[in-house]
Structure 1
Amino acid sequence: MKSILVAAAVALVISILFTPYLIRIFSKQGFGQEIREEVQKSHAAKRGTPTMGGMAILVAMWAGYLITHLTVAEEGPTVSGLLVLGLTTALGIVGFLDDFIKIRKQRNLGLNKTAKLVGQLVAAVLFAILAMRFPDDNGITPASEHLSFIRDISIVSFGAIGFVIFAYVAISGWSNAVNFTDGMDGLAGGTAAMVLATYVLISFWQLRYDCTGGGGSGPACYTVRDPLDIAIVAAAAMSACIGFLWWNAAPAKIFMGDTGSLALGGLVAGLSMVTRTELLMIIIGGLFVVEALSVVLQIVVFRSTRRRLFRMAPFHHHFELAGWAETTVIIRFWVLAGISCLFGVGLFYADWLSLYGG
C-alpha cells in the first residue's frame, strides 16, 4: 500500500510542477494548438494555446514509478509494469510526432492515417508478443490468450496469432477513443484519472486475493502476474493526470495533444490486458466508448443518407453546438464517466462476492 501511495504522491507533485515549465517553453517556441474549422467560432480564443502537454503526464508517470522502486518498493520493476509503461510511451511518441507536424505545418492535421496506424501497429505487436512471454514461477505471463471480462473466459481463446491481432484492435481502438474525447478542456484528462483510479482499486484487490501470492485461494482469487506493480503504474498515471488537470482545466493553459491522448489510450488498453479485464474496460471507460461510437455512427449515417446524425462528432461537440456551455458539457460528461467507473467496480466486486460466497 505504501508503494502505491508514494507513486501517486510523487507523480502528482512532478506533474503539477513540471507542466507550467512546459507551458513556458512551448509558448516561447510557438508550439500552439490549431483549431478545427467546425468549432473555430466557439474555440477561437484557444488557438495558440500550448500543446503536447502529454509529455508532463508521461514524465510524471515514469518518475512516480521509478522513484517508488528506488525508495520504498520491496521488489524491483516487473515485466507487466514495464510493458504497460513501454506501450504508453510508444504511443506517446506517435502522438508527439502527430502534434509536432501539426505545429510545424500550422494545420489541424498531423500524421496521415496510414502513418498513425503503422505506429499503433508496431507498438501493439511488440506489446502483444512480449506480453505472452516472461512467465513467472507459476507459469503466469503478463497477458493471456483468452478473452477476459472480470477474469479469463476459458472457452474463448485467441491463440498466439489471434491475440496479437486482438491486441492491435484493442490498443488502436482505445488510443483513438481517448483521442476523440480530448476536445474540451480537461475532459479526457479528468475521465482518464477516474478510469485509472478504478484500476488502482481493481489491481489492489487482485493483489489482496492473488491465487499465487498467498493472498487468496479458491475460485474467488485472481491469476494476474504482477498486481502490485500494475497498481503502482495506475496510481502514478492517475496522479499525473490529476496534476496535469490543474493546468488543463477550463480555461486550459495547455493541451495534452495527441502526445497525451494516444498514450492514455494505450495505457488503459494495456491495463485491461494485464489485469484480465478487457471487456470490463468497455464499461469502466464507457465515456470513451460513446465518444468513439459517435464518430463511427456519424460517418456511417452520413455516407448512407448524406445527413448528419449529430450536429458534430465527437459527441461532446454536438451538445456544445446545441448551446450548452463548454464547462457544462465537461462536468456532465465527467458525471457520466464516474457512473461508468462505479458500475464497473460494482460488477467487479459482485463477481468476487458471488464466487467467494459460493
Structure 2
Amino acid sequence: MTEIPLIPLMALSCALALVFTGLLKANFQTRFLDIPNDRSSHTRPTPRGGGLGFILAFALTAAFTHPNPLAVGLVLAPLALIGFLDDRGHVPASIRYLVQLLAAALAIAQFGTLPLFAIPFIAIAFTAFINFYNFMDGLDGLVASTAALQLAFLAVTLNQPLWWLLVAALLGFLYWNWSPAKIFMGDVGSTVLGASIAIALLNSPTPTHLWTALPITFPLIGDATYTLSRRLLKGENIFKAHRTHLYQRLQQSGWTHSQVAIAYLLVTGAIAVLISTLGLLGSVMSTGLAISAIAGGEFYLYRRNQHDQGPNSADRVLEALN
C-alpha cells in the first residue's frame, strides 16, 4: 500500500476522530448512557463509549503509513471489542481478563524479544497497563490528554511514528471529552490506550530504551499503583469500586476536572523534558519527581483537611484516640 506523508494523515486522523466522536455522542444517548452514582465524579448523565471514535480514526489512517498495521490491530481489536461490549452492558471480569491475556500474548509474540522466564511477568505487566489506564479514566480529559502527551513522547524517543496518528485522533476526541465532557471514552477507549502505551514500550529498540522511557507513564501508573498499595495496606477489597485515587481526591477537595488534568499534564511534560535532555539520569530523576508529586498531593490534601476541620482538629483527633 502506498504510504501517505505523516502530517496529512495526522490532520485526517484528528478530523475523523472529531466527526466520529460527534456521531457517537448523538447515537449513544440511551443505550450507552453513564448515570451518576455515589462513586461518580460527574453529576449529569453522559454517554460513554466515545473512545471508539478515536480508535476508528487511528485504524483507518494507520493502514496508510505503518508497514504492518495488522500487527498492532491484532492486539488492540480484541480489547476494543470487549471494551465496547462492556460499555454497552456488563461483561464478567473473568472474561475481560482472559481477553487482556490474549492481547498480551499477541503483543509479546509480535513485538517482544524476551527470555522465556520473563514472558509471564511481561504478560502481567501488560494487563496491568490496560487496567490501570482504565482505573485512571475517571475525570474529564485526564487520560485522553495525558496519554496523548505520553504517546507523542514515545513516538519521538522510540522512533515509532505510528503513534502520532493516535495522538492526533486523541486531540480530535478531546474536543468532546475535555471538561465539561460531552462523552466519555469508556472501557473501549481506556483499555486500548493502556495497551497502546504497553505496545510502544514493548517494541523499544533495546531494553535500555524501554527502561529509560518507562517513567513517562508514572503520572498515571504511579497514581494507580500507589492507590492499589494504599488500599491493600488498609485491608480494603481492591476489587470493589471506590473513589480514592489521588486524582479523585484532588477533585473532591475542590479542584476542577481541568485543573487536575493540567496538573497531570505538567508532571508528564516535566518527565518528558528530563528524559529527553538527560537520558537515563533523567529517567531516574523522573521517578523521584513522580513520587514527589504523589507525596505533594497527599500533603496538600492533608493540609486542606486540617484547614476544613478548623484549629481544634488536632485536639479532636487526640480525644478520638483516647
By how many angstroms is 1:18 displaced?
1.5
- The aligned counterpart of 1:35 is 36
Matched-pair contact (CA < 8 Å) for 1:195–1:284: yes
Q: Which structure is higher in RCO with an 8 Å CA cutoff and minimum separation 6? A: 1
By how many angstroms is 1:188 displaced?
0.3
Residue type of the alignment partner of 2:5: S
- The aligned counterpart of 2:154 is 199
By how many angstroms is 1:349 displaced?
8.5
How far, CA to CA, are the matches of 2:228 and 2:213 in structure 1?
19
How far, CA to CA, are the matches of 1:292 and 1:324 in structure 2?
19
How far, CA to CA, are the matches of 1:315 and 1:168 in structure 2?
26
Residue type of the alignment partner of 1:181: M
Matched-pair contact (CA < 8 Å) for 2:10–2:165: yes
SS class of match (1:184): coil
- Which of residues 143, 168, 181 is equivalent to 1:188? 143
- The aligned counterpart of 1:62 is 59
- The aligned counterpart of 1:283 is 215
- The aligned counterpart of 1:18 is 20
Pair 201,120 (structure 1): closer, same or farther in 2 beyond 3 Å? same
- The aligned counterpart of 1:341 is 272
Identity %: 25
How far, CA to CA, are the matches of 2:36 and 2:75 in structure 1?
28
Instruction: Give the TM-score of the pair, scaled to structure 2.
Output: 0.77
How far, CA to CA, are the matches of 1:52 and 1:65 in structure 2?
21
How far, CA to CA, are the matches of 1:296 and 1:349 in structure 2?
27
By how many angstroms is 1:248 displaced?
0.5
Matched-pair contact (CA < 8 Å) for 2:148–2:170: yes
Asked if 1:169 is matched to 2:100, the reply is: no
Instruction: Give the TM-score of the pair, scaled to structure 1.
Output: 0.70
Structure 2: stretches of 5+ with no match in the other structure: 283-322
- Which of residues 225, 233, 243 is equivalent to 1:301? 233
- Structure 1 segment 31-110 matched on structure 2, within 5 A: 31-39=32-40, 43-45=42-44, 47=45, 49-66=46-63, 68-69=64-65, 77-79=66-68, 81-101=69-89, 110=90
Deviations 1:243-274 (A, max 9, x none): 10011001111100010000000000001011
Pair 347,270 (structure 1): closer, same or farther in 2 beyond 3 Å? farther
- The aligned counterpart of 2:311 is none
How far, CA to CA, are the matches of 2:210 and 2:131 in structure 1?
16
Matched-pair contact (CA < 8 Å) for 2:79–2:192: yes
- Which of residues 247, 260, 268 is equivalent to 2:197? 268
How far, CA to CA, are the matches of 1:99 and 1:2 in structure 2?
34
By how many angstroms is 1:238 displaced?
0.6
By how many angstroms is 1:85 displaced?
3.1
By how many angstroms is 1:24 displaced?
0.8
SS class of match (2:234): helix
Pair 238,183 (structure 1): closer, same or farther in 2 beyond 3 Å? same
Asked if 1:325 is matched to 2:256, the reply is: yes
By how many angstroms is 1:294 displaced?
3.0
Matched-pair contact (CA < 8 Å) for 1:272–1:281: yes
Structure 1: stretches of 5+ with no match in the other structure: 70-76, 102-109, 132-141, 146-158, 205-229, 352-358
How far, CA to CA, are the matches of 1:7 and 1:350 in structure 2?
35
- The aligned counterpart of 1:313 is 244
Deviations 1:4-62 (A, max 9, x none): 323322211111121111111112x43211334234xx5222x2x11111111110101
By how many angstroms is 1:295 displaced?
2.6
- The aligned counterpart of 1:227 is none
Pair 92,291 (structure 1): closer, same or farther in 2 beyond 3 Å? farther
- Which of residues 107, 113, 122 is equivalent to 1:144? 113
How far, CA to CA, are the matches of 2:191 and 2:57 in structure 1?
16
- The aligned counterpart of 2:7 is 5
How many residue pairs get aligned? The number is 273
Residue type of the alignment partner of 2:194: G
How far, CA to CA, are the matches of 2:276 and 2:75 in structure 1?
25
SS class of match (1:30): coil
Pair 15,314 (structure 1): closer, same or farther in 2 beyond 3 Å? same
Q: CA RMSD in A?
A: 2.5
Pair 23,114 (structure 1): closer, same or farther in 2 beyond 3 Å? same
Residue type of the alignment partner of 2:235: R
How far, CA to CA, are the matches of 1:279 and 1:324 in structure 2?
33
